[in-house]
Chain A
Amino acid sequence: MSSESAEVRAAAAPQTATRTTATRPMLTLIKREFWEHAALWVAPLVVTAALIIGAIFGRAYGPGTMPVSLGDVPATPQGLRAISTTVLVMFSGGSQYVVMSIVLWFYATACLYNERRDRSILFWKSMPVSDAKTVISKFLMALAVVPLYVYVVTLLTTLVASGIIAIPRFSGPGGLSLWDGGAWVRAEAYSFVWLVLAVLWYAPLTAYLLLVSAWARRNVQLWALSPLIAIIVERIAFGTHYLSTWILYRLGPGWQSQSEQWLERLFAGPFYYTSGGSSSPVQLFAGMQPLKGFGNIDLWIGLAVAVAFLYAAVRVRRYRDDT
């Protein structure tokens, strides 16, 4: 074949008009993340399966009749139902969000690192998708898409688990139901607000991990943990712990307002609630004002820092050339 024949053939080829079809880039980018990181959608389902199996065993082998008291305090059926429903929601949520945090840590550190390691970044960059859009899609995954998905999964889990534990073991008046709809709605609403606050509170950490992921040449986990190394260095070299105080504050549950101490309440279990004398769903959340968390200026400063980290991650992905 000569170049002439190539040209003849080219001339004969039909002229194609420029086609343009509608695209949904952000939705596609989000789907892409779930294809690559299956743990993002599988892990919550695994936790759900474990919780439901736990509920079935609990129902089969747990108490079949109502206890007359919790600790020293006499229990009312209504109070017991409210407590058990709330604890169920909190425990399911707690398990799901701990697993989610671990999964998201590995997701955030891997998502901009793996594409460079396997050079697939050259494929992604051959598509008309800006670096900003790519980085934002990954940030949105960790900030909104995955937490929302886990929230919905958890909500459905508590419904199923509630249904299981609500089945009376013995028919008749001795049968025990541990389900309280009002307490459930309230607990779900509160945990949603806490989830939003927590996700926003940890946004700078997420953005930092994305930046490390875009930047590190190797040992991405080590770089992600480098602030901890800085803490040790500070302790040894200067004998101070400003850095550790500050980092621990940012890593801790700084998003819950001081008055809440809800973690404490959760871990203290039902006894905490009943020690006041009576146990109603109203009292369970008495004094809690989760929306107050939005008034914490540190939350908003953190978000500004997160934006700066994201911007840096976009720049690094745009101009780094190590393929």
Chain B
Amino acid sequence: MTTVIEARNLSKAYGATHALDGVSFSIESGRIVGMIGPNGAGKTTALKGILGLSDFAGELTVLGRNPRTERDRLMQDVCFIADVAVLPKWIRVRNALDYVEGVHPRFDRARAETFLSRTDIRQGSRVRELSKGMVTQLHLALILAIDARLLVLDEPTLGLDLLYRRQFYDTLLNDYFDKERTILVTTHQVEEIEHLLTDVIFLASGHIVLSTTVDAIPDRYLQLTVGPDGVSRARELHPFYEREVFGRTALFYEGRSARELEPLGEVRAPSIADLFVAKIQSLDARRTPAGLGSGAAPGPAQSAPGASS
């Protein structure tokens, strides 16, 4: 395994707001990393830095190159889909293939055409005539036919219906991903991709809240669900977040063993989506003690682990 992205102390401010505030992480090859955070957390800023699209402070190496100074060369090994809107409306499908074939040394036209033949997209159509879902399919067809080492996806399925979203990720996983490749994806729809992620990075307000492999989550975080009478005992073990669901309470713990919690109720590893909400809400609650709804229970201060995956 080699390190694909190494970021140290990334910072970027737009005026007075810090989009990124000293963020460090590293991403290994052959991983599917989800960068997850609320709006304005700094996800897109981080991706733009990785892709050499905007400037930033700090050190960043992508595939051994500096995206600030070597972005043209870097783009031979990196693909990205910014979001569904970026394919030019006027281009014909055929010409889009011509274009990528003409400029990208790692593009395999036959592969893209095979993929397109499985869709309803006709090569003579212009992008403006395609539905949003078809535009994404086209973009995906172009990207999948490029033999790149790093694929960066920024909200790739925004505004698509469920069928297209599901198809998008299935194709990505079945036709594209392998041990040599790395996928970095940001999305709001955590539930939809959590089954395919190998790593997650939670970002909030320009900071990393959590950076871990998915496999390591059950060792570190547990979710305990108890009835109304078990809540006070469960709280004694210092959950960092709790929330009520249908009269039962879900409490989230860091660094507790299942053995400690099992006598109190039902214990399981939290889903990534639940863990994300718990982490972000507990942060917000600590920042504004009045809290949000059920808020966070007082617990041990959270370190913001900058540990790499």
Interface residues of A (CB under 8 A from B): 1-3, 6-7, 9-11, 13-16, 18-25, 27-29, 31-32, 35-36, 115, 118-123, 125-130, 319, 321, 323
Contacts and interface: CB of A to CB of B under 8 A. Distances in A.
23 contacts: A6-B173, A6-B196, A7-B198, A9-B173, A9-B174, A11-B178, A15-B179, A16-B178, A23-B101, A23-B102, A31-B102, A36-B90, A118-B88, A120-B89, A122-B80, A125-B53, A126-B79, A127-B75, A127-B99, A128-B103, A128-B105, A319-B54, A323-B53
Contacts of A19: 106, 108, 147
Given A3-B198, A10-B177, A31-B102, A18 B147 contact: yes
Contact of A123 (B76, B87, B102): B87
Contacts of B90: 35-36
B201 interface: no
A24 B88 CA distance: 21
B86 A129 contact: no
Given A21-B107, A22-B105, A129 B198 contact: no
A321 B85 CA distance: 17
A118 B88 CA distance: 7
Nearest to B76: A128
A16 B180 CA distance: 9
A205 B84 CA distance: 36
Given A1-B196, A19-B106, 8 more contacts: A2-B195, A16-B147, A31-B98, A35-B91, A120-B89, A122-B82, A126-B75, A126-B82
Contact of B102 (A2, A7, A24, A321): A24
B88 A36 contact: yes
Nearest to B177: A10
B86 A25 contact: no
B95 interface: yes
B244 interface: no
B178 to A, nearest CB: 4
Interface in B91-129: 91-92, 95, 98-108
B239 interface: no
B48 interface: yes
B180 A32 contact: no
Nearest to A38: B90
A121 B53 CA distance: 10
A35 B95 contact: yes
A120 B87 contact: yes
A297 B52 CA distance: 40
Nearest to A121: B86
B30 interface: yes
A22 to B, nearest CB: 7
Given A9-B173, A10-B179, A20 B75 contact: no
A11 B82 contact: no
B262 interface: no
Contact of A119 (B54, B82, B99): B82
B178 A13 contact: yes
B89 to A, nearest CB: 6
B166 to A, nearest CB: 11
Main secondary structure of the interface of A (DSSP, over half): loop
B46 interface: no
B73 interface: yes
Contacts of A119: 82, 85-86
Contacts of B108: 19, 21
B260 interface: no
Interface of B: 30, 32, 48, 51, 53-55, 72-76, 79-82, 85-92, 95, 98-108, 139, 147, 173-174, 177-180, 195-198, 214-215
Name, among A23, A24, A115, A123, the residue most crowded by chain B CB atoms within 10 Å (CB to CB): A123
A6 B198 contact: yes
A29 B102 CA distance: 8
Contacts of A122: 53, 80, 82, 86
Closest 6 CB pairs of A and B: A28-B102, A120-B88, A122-B82, A13-B178, A128-B75, A130-B72
Contacts of B30: 10
A13 B147 CA distance: 14
B118 to A, nearest CB: 18
Nearest to A35: B95
B48 A321 contact: yes
Contacts of B95: 31-32, 35
A125 B30 CA distance: 24
Contacts of A118: 85, 88-89
Given A127-B104, A129-B103, A36 B54 contact: no
Contacts of A35: 90-92, 95
B53 A321 contact: yes
Given A118-B89, A123-B87, A127-B75, A20 B106 contact: yes
B82 A23 contact: no
A4 to B, nearest CB: 8
Contacts of B107: 21
Contacts of A321: 48, 53-55
Contact of B99 (A6, A13, A28, A323): A28
A141 B48 CA distance: 30
A32 B139 CA distance: 17
Given A20-B105, A28-B102, A126-B75, A10 B89 contact: no
A29 B98 CA distance: 10
Name, among A2, A6, A24, A115, the residue most crowded by chain B CB atoms within 10 Å (CB to CB): A6
A36 B91 CA distance: 7
Contact of A25 (B88, B91, B102): B102
A319 B55 CA distance: 7
Contacts of B196: 1, 3, 6
Contact of A10 (B48, B73, B92, B178): B178
Contacts of B79: 126
